[in-house]
Structure 1
Amino acid sequence: MSLSLWLQDPAGKRNVRFLFGLFFLLLPFTSTGQKFTVSGYVRDAKTGENLIGVAILNSVTGQGTATNAYGFYSLTLPKDSVKLVASYVGYERGFFSTYLDKDLQQNLMLSPVTTALREVEIVNTRQEDVRESTRMSTINMSVAQIKAVPALFGEVDVLKTLQLLPGVQSGGEGTSGLYVRGGGPDQNLILLDGVPVYNASHLFGFFSVFNAEALNNVELVKGGFPARYGGRLSSVLDISMKEGNMNEVDGEGSIGLIASRLTVGAPIKKDVASFIVSARRTYIDLLARPFMNKEEGVGGYYFYDLNGKLNWKVSDKDRLYLSAYTGYDKFYATTERSGTDDEKSQAGLGWGNLTSAFRWNRILNQRLFLNTHLTYTKYQFDISSEEESRYQGETYDYKLKYLSNIRDLSAKLDFDYIPNPSHYIRFGTQYVHHQFQPGALQVRDTNGGDAEDLNVNTQKTNAQEVGLYVEDDLRLSERVKVNVGVRANGFYVNKEFYSSMEPRASVRFIANEKLSLKASYANMTQFIHLLTNSGIGLPTDLWVPSTDKIKPQRSHQVALGATRTIANDKLEVSLEGYYKTMHNLIEYKEGASFIGISNSWDTKVTTGKGWAYGMELFLHKKVGRTNGWIGYTLAWSNRQFTELNRGEKFPYRYDRRHDFEVVVIHQLKPNLTLSGTWVYGTGNAITLPEARYVVGDAYSGGYGGTQTYNDYGARNGYRMASYHRADISLSHTKKKRWGEVVNNISFYNAYNRKNPYYIYVEAGAKEGDPAVFKQISLFPVLPSISKTFKF
C-alpha cells in the first residue's frame, strides 16, 4: 500500500524520477575496445568462508577493487596479461596470473598467516587501501582485536571494544550502549547479518548480545553514510556472522566466571553446505539456587544467546543462507509462606530479541551481483507480577502483566554493478512492514470470588516503509575519487505519509603517497523513535513510530578529514572534524513516563532539536609485536526543547568535552600476550536540586503536616566527576594435539578508581542541616579468569 501511495504522491513521483535519472546518469559509457572481466569469490582456504573487504590489485595496470559484503569481486580489464594480488589482514597474499582474452570466473583462496613477518607485509598493503577509499568515519574491527582487549568479568564484548574508538562513547560505568557523535542509542542502526537488532544489551547494558566467537566481520560507520544505509541518524554497525566450516569440523568455547559459551561449525557436505551453531548462557542463578530459602524468597537472573546459520552453495553462481538469532534476559523472584493464611507472590522482568534472515546471492553476470534478503526481527520486554493469598477460606488473587514490542518483516534487493575499475555502482530497494505495540497492560483482580479484568492500550500500530537507493564509487582521476548517491524513502502510518530525499556524497583527494584528504555530507531520516526514561538502555525504553503528531527525525552531517601514514607506514594517523544538526527529537515531558499508560504515548512527549560538533584524532598501529591505538575526541552536544528547561538549550546528558582512549596489545612471547586499556572522559551532565522548600505546618493539629520539595536548577547544569579506568589482561596459549587452550586473567578497574555511577540527595544528619550529595560507585577492582579452547 505504501509504495503505491508513494508513487501517487507528487513528491514521491519526483523522488523516483530523480533517483532513476541519477542511476542512468551514473552508468558509464562502456568502451568499444576489447575488455573482459575476471570475477569470483575470495574465501578462507581453511574454512571456506567468504572474506569481506579483501583488496584485489592487478599489478600489471595498478587497477584494483575490493570484495563486497558477501566476498564477491569483479574487475574489468583490457585484453592482456593479468597478475592479481589479493591482500587481507591476517592472511597470506593470494596470487593469480593469466592472459585475459575472455570473461573468467576465478575464486581465490587465502590461507591464514603463520608468522609475524608475513602479517606485517599484509597489513601494509591493507593500509594503502584505507587511504585509497572514499569512505570516511568508518572503522573495521577484527574479531582478533576484539578478543585481545581486556573485558569485564572476562566476557569478550564487541560494543565495549567499539567504545574505545574516537567519537564513540559509553552511557556509563560498564554499559555497552553506543553514543556516536552526540546521538542517542536509538540513532544507531545495528545489523546482524543485515537484520536490525533493536536492543543489543544484556543485564541492563553491562553486556552486549553479540557472541564474538560467532562473528566474521565488524564495521562501524560514524558519518559519510553510503546511500545503501538508511533509517538512522548517527551510525551504522554492520556485523556479519560466520558461515560455518566447509571443509572440517571446528569449534571454539570458553568457561568464565559468570557465563560459558560454545561455537561449532562443520560441513554438511564438503565444499557444498555447512552450518554453524553458537550458544552462551550465564549460570549464577543455577549456582545460587541451592542456598536460597523459599520462605525468604527465591530469585535470580540469567541471560542466554543462540546463533545459527546454514550455508549452501547451490551452484557456482548461486548461494543460499539461512541465519537466526535469539536471546533473552530474565529476572525473577518468588516467595511462599504457609500457615493459617497461605501467601504466594511472583514477579518477573524479561526482554529479548529474535531475528532471522534468508539470503540468496546470485552472480547475474560477470559484472552484476544480486543479493535478495528476507528478514524478520522482534524485540519485546514484559513485566509480570502475581500475588495470591487465602484468608478465612476465600482466595484473593491479583495479576498484572505489561508488555511492549516491535516487529519488522522486510524484503530487500541489492545490486552491485562493476562495469570497469573506475565505477562501482550499487542500487536497490527495500520494503519494511513495522508493527508497534508501545505498551499493553493486562490486570486481573479477584477479590473473594469476584473477578475484575482490565486491558489498557492493547492496540497495535502498523506502518509501512519503503526505500530506493543508488550510489556510485567513481574515480575521476588518479588523485580524485568520489562516492555520490541518493536515497529516497517513504513511511505510511495511520493515514499519514512522510517522504524524504537523502543526498549523500564523499570525496577523497590523494595529496601524496602518504597523505589523503577526505570530505563528506550525509542527509539522514529516521522514522522511528525510542522513548527513554534513563538513557542507559533499560528494557523499559519504548520503540514508537512517527505519527501525525510526531514527525520523523532528520539530520545533516558534514565532515572533513585527513589520513596519513608515518614511521615507514607502520602507523596510520587520521584527524576528522564534523558538524551535525538533528531535528524532531523527542523527550518525555517533565514528570511523564511509560508507567502511566492511561493516555497515548504521543501525548506525553515534546519535540525539539539538537546539534553536535567536534574533532577526532586516531593513531593506529597494526604491525609488530606491539600494536593498538590511541584515540582522542573533543566534542560538544546540545539539545533544545520548547517545553523543557524553560525553552533554553542545555547539554545532552552524554555531552562529553574530552574523551581519551589508549589500547595496547603486546606479544611478550609467541604464546603470551599482555594487553591493557586506559580511558578518560569528562563527567556526564546531570540535573541537581539547588534548593529545598518545606510546605505546611508540623503543628497544625495533625492535618497535612509538612512536605519537602526540591527546586531543580538548569537541566544537565552540573557535571559528575571525571571518569577514568585502567584494565589489564594476560593470555597464555597452549597448543594441544586437538587444538589449543587459552588461559586468561584480567583486572577491570586495575587501580580501583571510584567512578560515579549516579548521585542522590541525602538529608542532613540533624534538623536544619543542609542536604548533601552522595555518589554511588559501581565496580571496584574486579579480577576475573577464563579458559578458552579451540579445536
Structure 2
Amino acid sequence: MPIFRLILALAGCFILSESAAQGSLLKTKFYCRATSGKTAAILRELSGYCGVAIEFSPSSLDTTKRHTLTAGRTSLGAVLDKILAGQYVTVTERNNKILIGKGSTPLPNGYLQEKYMLYGYIQQESGLEPLPFASITVMPDNRTIQSNVHGFYSLNLPAGRYVLMISFSGASSKTVAVDLQENTTMNLVLSPVLLPEVQVDAGNLPRRDAAVKLDRYKGGMYSNMLGETDPVRSMYLLPGNTESQESGGKLLVRGGDPGQSMFLLDGNPVFNPAHLMGEISILGNTSIKSVLQYKNDFPSRFSGGLSSITAINTKEGNMEHWSGEAEVGLTSLAFAIEGPLKKGRTAMMVSARQSLGESVYHDILSYDANFGDIHLKLTHLLNRHNKLMVSSYIGNDRLELTQDKMQQLVQNTNQYLHRWNNTLTTVNWNSIIGRRAFANTAFNYSSYNNYIAIMYTPPLDGGVGGLFDRAALNNYSSGKRYEVKTDIEITTHDHLQHFFGGRFEYTTIQPYRTLFGSDFKEAADDFSRRAFLPFSDRMLYYEIALRVGNRLLLRPGLHFNDYQHNSFHNQSFQPRFFSSYAIDKRQRINLAYTHIGQLLHMITSPYTGINRELWLPANERLKPAENRMVNLGYEYKDNRIVNITADFYYKKISNLAMFGEKTNILYNSDSTEKNIVTGTGWSYGAEAALEKRFTKWKILLSYTLSWSWRQSDSLNSGIKQPYRYDRRHNVNMLLGYQPLKGLEISLLWHFHTGDFITLPVLISFKPEATFADTNMGSVPFRGSIYNRLNLNASYRIPTHGRFKHTVGSGVHAVSQSQGDYLTTIATTSRNYTTPLYQEQLFKFNPYFSYKFSF
C-alpha cells in the first residue's frame, strides 16, 4: 500500500542521511606530527602533509587560540576536532576538500571524530539473564542511556577512552573502562544483590517515554490475598488506577472501562488478565522480569488500549545453573524452576500455581473458587547475535458465589457462576543486525473462553412464563487471535535513534446465544452459535528519539492501522508525540500527545452486577474507538529526600459503544448490535504520588482527582452524564516498617468514592422482550464510598548457603466498607420494590505462606 512504502521510505531517508553525516575525508588516517601554535598556522601546516586540502578564512576562526598536537597515527577528524571544538565554525566536504566556514553555534566536542558502535547485552551474573532498562552512564560525557526491554544497549561514540558506569535495581553497580578504537560487541555483566522483591518506583520515568516501571528487584511490601508478592497487583497503588471486581479483574484507568486497558504477556495480548476476579495476577512473581504501564504516553508501536497498556515480560531462564522455589499457603500451592538444558546455550523456566480446592474457599471465605496456571519458557542462543524464545501459558478459573442477603430473601443458592480460561503461545526471535540495529520478531497466538451465568428467583406466581420456579441465564463466548510482528530499533547517531516496525493480526470472536432455563449449563455444546465475527488488522509505525543536548528529548511518531471486518474497511493515521526536559539533576517535566485507536469494543452495561460485558469488533455502525489525549507531567526525584510525580491529563474518546436504554441486558440475540448506540467520552484530572524512605520506614502515597463523562444522542435525551466509573477521589497508601533485618511489616489502604449506579427500567425474563420507550431510571446516582485495609508481614529466615526460607502472614480486608465490589438488585415482593444490596465478595481473609528457594 502507498502508506507502507511512504513510511519505509522516510525511515530509509533518515537512516541514510545520518550514515552519510560523517564524511569520508574526515576518516583519513595519517601520521600526525608533534607541533604547537595558533589555529591558522597549524591548519596550514596540517593541510600540507595530511593528504587532504583544507581551506578556511582566518576571519571565521578564533586565531588567538594556541594548540599542541602530539605525534602518532590518527584520523583527520580527530585532529580537526581537537583544534576546532568550541569555535563558531562549520566543516563540510566539497570537491575532495575540507571547507571551514563561519557558523552560528559552537562546534560540539567530538563532532568531527570518527565514531564507533559499542553494543551488546546487559546481563545478570551467574545466569546470563538480560536486564531490561539498566542504566549506562558514559564518563566523562556524563550521558546516560538505558538498555531496552530485551537488555540490549547500543552507544555511538567517538574513538577514545571511556569509563562506563552500569547500574540496575537489585544488582551491584559496576564500572568498566573501554578503549574504543573500532566497532565493538561487549556484554556487560552485573552481580545480583539480595533485596526484597517488589516496589512501585513512584519517581521512575524512563528517558524515552513516560512509562511507569514496577521494579521486582527493589524492596516492596505488596502482597495479594494468597500472601504472594504481586508486582502486577502493585499497579493499583499508582495514581489513576483503580479496580472493579465487577469487571473480571481488568484494570480501570483514568475513568475508562476495563476493556480499554490492555495486558501484554511477552508482547502477547491477554483477554482475561487475572485470577479470582482481579485479586490475583495471572502469573506468579518468580516468573516476572519487568512490568511497565503506559498511560501518560503511548509509543507508536502500541495500539488496542485506549486507557492503558501494561507490558509484562518474563524471565528467560538461567543459563548457568538450576534454581527454583516452592510456596505453600492456606489456599494454594506454587512452584517455579529454571536452569540450563545445555549450559550457556539453552535454558528453560517453568512455573505453576494451583488452588487447594473449592471447599477451602467455601469454608473460609463463603464462596467456591478454583484456579490454576502454568507457564513454560524455553530460550536458545542460536549464535552470538541471535536468540530464540518459545513460551506458553495456560490459566483456568471457576468462581461460584453465594450471596447471603439474596439467599435470605429469595432462598436462592447458586446465584452467580463464572468460568474462564486463557491460552497463549509466543515465539520471539531477537537479532542484532550489523552494529547499529536490533530486531525482535514475534509470532503470537492467544485465545479465551468465557462462561457467565446468573440465577434469579422471580417473585412471580407460577414461575417464569409458567415454566420455571427460577430462571438461569447462561452466557458463553470465545475468541482467538493470531499475530506476527517485527520491531526494529537503529542507532544512527549518539543523539538519534529510529524505531519502526509492522504487524499483521487476525482475530475471531465467537459469541453464542444466551441459554435460558432453570439450571446452569457449563458445556459449550449446549449453546448455539451466533454470527461469527472475524477481523484483520495491518499496522505500521515509525518514530525517532532525538536528544538535543543532555536535557531535552523529543520523540515524534506515526502509527498507521488498516482494518478489515467483513465488508467494512477502515484506515487510521495516529500521530504521537512525547518530549522530556530535565530542569536539573532532580527535576524533569514532560509533555505528551497521543492519538490511539481500539478495534475491539468491550460494551459495558451501565447497570449493576458482575461481568455484564460484550465484545464486538468495529463495523459500519460501531466505528473504531479513538482516544486523543494530552498529558503534562512533572517529576522530582531525590532518593535521599523524597520522590514526587504529578500528572495533568485531558482526553476525549470518540466512537464509544454503549448499551441502549431499550435493551434487555439479560438476553443477546443475533440483533444485539442493533441495540448498541455510539457516543463520546471525556476524562480529565490530576494525579500525584509521593514516595519517602527513612532508615526503617517507607511510605508511598498516591491521590487522583478525576472526572469521567459519557454522552450519546440516543441516551438520556442527549444530555452528558457521569460515567459508571467516575470516581472523583481515589487514595492509596502503603506504609512499611522494617524493625529488624529480614522482617518487613506493611499496611495498605485503598479509598475511592463510589461508582455511579444506573437502575434498569425493567428486567424481563422473556428472552424476546425489550424495554418500554421510557427514560425512567436511566439517570445514574453516586454509590457509597469504598475503602479497604490490608496488613502484611514477611520474614526472611537467616540461613547460610544456597537455600533460603521466607514466611509471610497477614490479613486481606482486615477492615473495609460494607459496599465492597458488587451492588445487587433484589425484588422482594410482587409490588416490585427494588432495594440495593452491596455484597462483599472477598471478606476478612487471613493468610499464611511459606516459601523455600534455592
* Mapped partners of 1:769, 1:61: distance in 2: 75
Say whether the 8 Å CA contact 1:35–1:79 is kept in structure 2. Answer: yes
What are the superposed Cα offsets for residues 369-423 of structure 1, whole Å, 9 maximum, x if unpaired? 11111110111124699xxxxxxxxxxxxx9986311111111111110122211
Which deviates further from its counterpart, 742-751 or 220-229?
742-751
CA distance in 2: counterparts of 1:83 and 1:743, whole angstroms = 42
- In the other structure, the counterpart of 1:558 is 630
What does 1:175-574 correspond to in 2, within 5 Å? 176-285=249-358, 301-330=369-398, 350-382=419-451, 403-439=476-512, 456-533=528-605, 541-566=613-638, 569-574=640-645
Query: Cα 1:746–1:457, aligned 2, differ >3 Å: closer, same or farther?
Result: same
Establish whether residue 31 from structure 1 lines up as the match of residue 31 from structure 2: no
Rounded to whole Å, the distance in 1 between the matches of 2:185 and 2:777 is 68
Tell me how far apart the structure 2 counterparts of residues 429 and 61 of structure 1 sit (CA, whole Å): 35
| Partner in structure 2 of residue 135 of structure 1 | 209
Residue in structure 1 matched with residue 135 of structure 2 by the alignment: 55
Q: CA deviation at 1:638?
A: 0.6
| Correspondence list, 1:637-648, <5 A | 637-648=708-719
More strand by share: 1
Cα distance per residue 1:709-748 (max 9 Å; x no partner): 99844532x2222222221111111144551111111122
Structure-2 change in CA distance of 1:107 and 1:769 (3 Å): closer
State the secondary structure of the residue aligned to 2:237: coil
Alpha-carbon distance change, 729 to 287 in structure 1, aligned in 2, over 3 angstroms? closer
Instruction: Please tell me the residue identity of whatever aligns with 2:851.
Output: T
- Given candidates 808, 825, 828, the residue that maps to 1:744 is 808
Residues 158 and 565 (structure 1 numbering): CA distance in 2 closer, same or farther, change over 3 Å? closer
CA distance in 2, matches of 1:115, 1:54: 17
Quote the Cα distance in structure 1 between the aligned partners of 2:823 and 2:159.
71
Q: 2:463 is matched with which residue?
A: none
Per-residue CA shift, 1:508-565, capped at 9, x if unaligned? 1222232222111000111111133478996663322111221000110001121123
1:669 aligns with 2:740: yes
Which shows bigger deviation, 304-313 or 618-627? 618-627
Partner of 1:392: none
CA shift, 1:582, in A, is 0.4
- With structure 1 as the length reference, what TM-score do the two structures score? 0.83
Q: Deviation of residue 45 (structure 1)?
A: 0.5
Cα offset, 1:465, TM superposition: 0.4
Cα deviations by residue, 1:574-606 (Å, 9 ceiling, x for unpaired): 111000000111112225367534323311211
Q: Deviations over 1:437-456 (max 9, x none)?
A: 122578999xxxxxxx9974
- Offset of residue 160 of structure 1: 2.9
* Counterpart Cα distance in 2 of 1:624 and 1:729: 19
Relative to structure 1, the CA distance from residue 318 to residue 25 in structure 2 (aligned partners, 3 Å threshold; closer, same or farther) is: closer
Query: For 1:686 and 1:145, how far apart are their aligned partners in 2?
Result: 40
Deviation string for 1:328-356 (max 9, x for gaps)? 113589xxxxxxxxxxx9x9853111111
Give the conservation status (yes or no) of the 8 Å contact 1:175–1:206.
no
1:454-501 CA deviation, whole Å, 9 max, x = no partner? 974444232110111111111123322111111111101112111111
- The residue type paired with residue 812 of structure 2 is Y
Match of 1:724 in 2: 787
Deviation, structure 1 residue 755 = 3.7
Secondary structure of the residue that 1:655 maps to in structure 2? Answer: coil
Q: Report the CA distance between 1:620 and its aligned residue.
A: 2.4
Match of 1:86 among 163, 166, 169: 166
Contact 1:721 1:756 in 2 (8 A): no
Q: Report 1 or 2 for greater relative contact order, CA contacts < 8 Å, sequence distance ≥ 6.
A: 1
Q: Distance in 2 between matches of 1:727 and 1:332?
A: 24
SS of the residue corresponding to residue 560 of structure 1 reads strand
Partners of 2:368 and 2:831 lie apart in 1 by 42
> What is the deviation of 1:127?
9.9
Asked whether 1:21 is paired with 2:10, we answer yes
Q: What is aligned with 1:294?
A: none
In percent, how many aligned pairs have the same letter? 27
- The alpha-carbon distance between structure 1 residues 436 and 257, as it changes in their structure 2 partners (threshold 3 A), is same
Q: SS at 2:301's partner residue?
A: coil
Q: Which amino acid aligns with 1:663?
A: L
Q: Which amino acid aligns with 2:808?
A: N
Q: Distance in 1 between matches of 2:429 and 2:344?
A: 17
SS, match of residue 821 in structure 2:
strand
SS where residue 383 of structure 2 aligns? coil
Q: Distance in 1 between matches of 2:527 and 2:586?
A: 66
What secondary structure sits across from 1:70 in the alignment?
coil
The answer to whether the 8 Å contact 2:578/2:593 transfers is: yes
Task: Point out the more displaced range, 737-746 or 257-266.
Answer: 737-746
Q: Give the unaligned 5+ runs of structure 1.
A: 1-6, 8-12, 292-298, 334-344, 386-398, 446-452, 693-707
Residues 608, 824 of structure 2: 8 Å contact kept: no
CA contact (8 A) 1:205 1:536 kept: no
Q: CA deviation at 1:644?
A: 2.1
Which whole-Å CA distance do the structure 1 matches of 2:4 and 2:352 have between them? 45
Residues 60 and 81, structure 1, Cα contact 8 Å, conserved in 2: no
**How much does 1:782 deviate?**
2.5
More displaced, 81-90 or 587-596? 587-596
1:256-313 CA-to-partner distances (Å, cap 9, x unmatched) read: 222111111111111111000010111223669999xxxxxxx954111110100111
Partner Cα separation in structure 2 for residue 400 and residue 582 of structure 1: 33
User: Is the Cα–Cα contact under 8 Å of residues 276 and 399 in structure 2 kept in the other structure?
Assistant: no
Asked if 1 retains the 8 angstrom alpha-carbon contact of 2:246 and 2:822, the reply is no
What's the offset of the Cα at 1:777? Answer: 3.9
Distance 1:332 1:18 in 2: 51
2:674 corresponding residue in structure 1: 603
| Equivalent residue, structure 2, for 1:450 | none
Number of aligned pairs? 716
Q: Distance in 1 between matches of 2:568 and 2:5?
A: 19
**Aligned equivalents of 1:158, 1:670: Cα separation in 2:** 22
Q: CA deviation at 1:750?
A: 2.8
* Equivalent position of 2:52 in the other structure: none
